[in-house]
Structure 1
Amino acid sequence: MTNLSPLVYWSQTKQTLLLKVDLKDAKGAIADFSPVSVNFSANGHGARGVNAYKFELHFYALIDDENAAFVVSDNKIELQIRKLEPEWWPRLVATPQKPHWLKIDFDRWRTEDDGEVEEKPRDVRQDYEKEYADLQKHELGYIKEKTKKVYMIFYNLAMFVGYLYIMVVMGVLYYRDGVDSIAKTYANVGNAFKFIQLLQYLEVMHPMFGYTKGSPMVPFFQVSGRNFILFLMIDIEPRMYAKPVVFYVFIIWSLVELVRYPYYLAQLLGREVGLLTWLRYTIWIPLYPMGILCEGIIVLRNIPYIEETKRFTVEMPNSWNITFDMVLFLKIYIMLLILPGSYLVMSHMAKLRSKKLGKGRAKRRQHLHAD
């Protein structure tokens, strides 16, 4: 059955795009945005009567997909999109040929000084991505993937295997020895956990080299927070090895990553797995508070050991003429971890969850006038 596409009218400013989809009484509207495209589907009354309509557009340049939205009203659907870089586009789509159902919204049309917009040189392989992939597959028997994508697939796969190994070892030992295995958790998987946690610092460099979006500071603080607990609060104090809280924090950290890395793999491979997406943006709700609680207990258990050994404490007099009280630092750390730290982390995840899982929920707006 041939897919039906609705009439779509587009206009732009230097910063934004507005796409008006000509569908009346639309139901079940979904707009799935990526940095380079949008996939849209809905049921409604369009050019071919009441039908299911869908379309896909590959944009001329990058958009801010995280803040893209759409609004459904009685006689149209508006897709509101911000350009990643403020500039005038000579056209909406990547290819010079536009779909027959894509029209200019002349009522809102604007260009730079209402003149011609100069088109930048483009890579034809980008403009005809699907056709180029088909040609590669026909000539070579396979599709050449970008080096960055191949690296990210192997990285995420390796990290998933690492955390899966840790969980399997802990599970097998617990099945065999019962609660007696809890005290031996660090002896059995501690070295593997240290290796994989150090490897996570690669995620700080990924955004620096353009392999992922976002700021390197976010993964830096996340990875460093875990490594502070792992290396300075557990590894350096042998009396912590047998504590049950170490077993629980390893379980919590591993469960988070056993969902996160497969989700990233699915995104890299262009697969949308509904259950995996839901788990990625939901499993943190019980696990993050439990993880913060366990990390706080580990720090609290270390305070008497630090007071006894004076580890990391710098007292006067010394050649640097400075003093540092590690016990005081840990008390401040716990307060920051429990109050502002937990709030910032969980509010950030709540916003991401709302954006990702609420994408298909269009805000309804009352129809005020006929188009």
Structure 2
Amino acid sequence: MPYNLFQSAEKKKLTSRRDMHPATAKWYDRRDSVFIEFCVADSKDVKVSFDKTKFGFSCLGGTDNVKYENEIDLFEAIDENESKHKRTDRSVLCYLRKAQPGKSWLRLTKEKPKPSWLSVDFNNWKDWEDDSDEEMGNFDQFSDMMNNMGGEDDIPDLDDESADSDDEIP
């Protein structure tokens, strides 16, 4: 009889696992950190766990209170004490502080095959390895440069030009 109780407990555990869905996520790499954004609107009961080589996320999301759960074996180690997360109405953004700053992560996961729920956030991606601090342009300097390029005084006035010679062809 204890065997059947164990089976029903295992069955219950499997059933509850089936109710869980992985949340869609995007990630990007920076010099001293990695960011992961879980795209879950109206998230509640958000739980994030940081471990040196693992990362866990779970929450209830949407109006239907769908259960989301993600667990990631990380590509490299993180500083779990300096890692944080922030919940917004549309997503949960996680900041993972790298244990070895300045080392590029080729991928987020330890395993090479990428999970189907994970993608690269190309809108925030930056090839920081190729940039040195001296070469990195400052937006203020860019604005100053654009302001110093000359204004409308340098543009010739074309309104007074005579009709184009092509206009006279019958």
Alignment pair present for 1:22 and 2:39: yes
- Match of 1:79, SS? strand
Alignment RMSD, CA only?
Answer: 1.6
Alignment pair present for 1:67 and 2:85: no
Q: Tell me how far 1:67 sits from its aligned partner.
A: 1.2
State the alpha-carbon separation in 2 of the partners of residues 113 and 100 from structure 1.
29
What does residue 107 of structure 1 align with?
123
Q: Which amino acid aligns with 2:57?
A: F
What does residue 40 of structure 1 align with?
57
State the alpha-carbon separation in 2 of the partners of residues 78 and 108 from structure 1.
13
1:317-350 Cα shifts (integer Å, max 9, x gaps): xxxxxxxxxxxxxxxxxxxxxxxxxxxxxxxxxx
What does residue 96 of structure 1 align with?
112
Q: Tell me how far 1:34 sits from its aligned partner.
A: 0.4
State the alpha-carbon separation in 2 of the partners of residues 10 and 24 from structure 1.
17
Alignment pair present for 1:4 and 2:49: no
- Match of 2:75, SS? coil
Q: Which amino acid aligns with 1:110?
A: K
Q: Which amino acid aligns with 1:16?
A: S
State the alpha-carbon separation in 2 of the partners of residues 50 and 103 from structure 1.
24
What does residue 270 of structure 1 align with?
none
Structure with the largest fraction of helix? 1
State the alpha-carbon separation in 2 of the partners of residues 44 and 104 from structure 1.
22
Alignment pair present for 1:78 and 2:93: yes
1:82-122 Cα shifts (integer Å, max 9, x gaps): 100011111111010111000111110123239xxxxxxxx
What does residue 167 of structure 2 align with?
none
State the alpha-carbon separation in 2 of the partners of residues 69 and 33 from structure 1.
8
1:58 to 70, 73, 76: 73
- Match of 1:38, SS? strand
Over 3 Å counting, the alpha-carbon distance change for 1:88 and 1:28 in structure 2 is: same
Q: Which amino acid aligns with 1:13?
A: R
State the alpha-carbon separation in 2 of the partners of residues 90 and 4 from structure 1.
26
State the alpha-carbon separation in 2 of the partners of residues 45 and 22 from structure 1.
11
Aligned residues: 112
Matches within 5 A, 1:191-340: none
State the alpha-carbon separation in 2 of the partners of residues 58 and 110 from structure 1.
23
State the alpha-carbon separation in 1 of the partners of residues 104 and 47 from structure 2.
27
State the alpha-carbon separation in 1 of the partners of residues 130 and 60 from structure 2.
38
State the alpha-carbon separation in 2 of the partners of residues 19 and 52 from structure 1.
19
State the alpha-carbon separation in 1 of the partners of residues 113 and 107 from structure 2.
10
State the alpha-carbon separation in 2 of the partners of residues 40 and 96 from structure 1.
20
- Match of 1:66, SS? coil
State the alpha-carbon separation in 2 of the partners of residues 28 and 103 from structure 1.
24
- Match of 2:122, SS? coil
What does residue 128 of structure 1 align with?
none
Higher relative contact order (CA 8 A, sep 6+): 2
1:297-326 Cα shifts (integer Å, max 9, x gaps): xxxxxxxxxxxxxxxxxxxxxxxxxxxxxx
State the alpha-carbon separation in 2 of the partners of residues 113 and 105 from structure 1.
19
Stretches of 4+ aligned residues off by more than 4 angstroms: none
Structure with the largest fraction of strand? 2
State the alpha-carbon separation in 2 of the partners of residues 106 and 64 from structure 1.
24
5+ long unaligned stretches in structure 1: 115-371
State the alpha-carbon separation in 1 of the partners of residues 25 and 130 from structure 2.
24
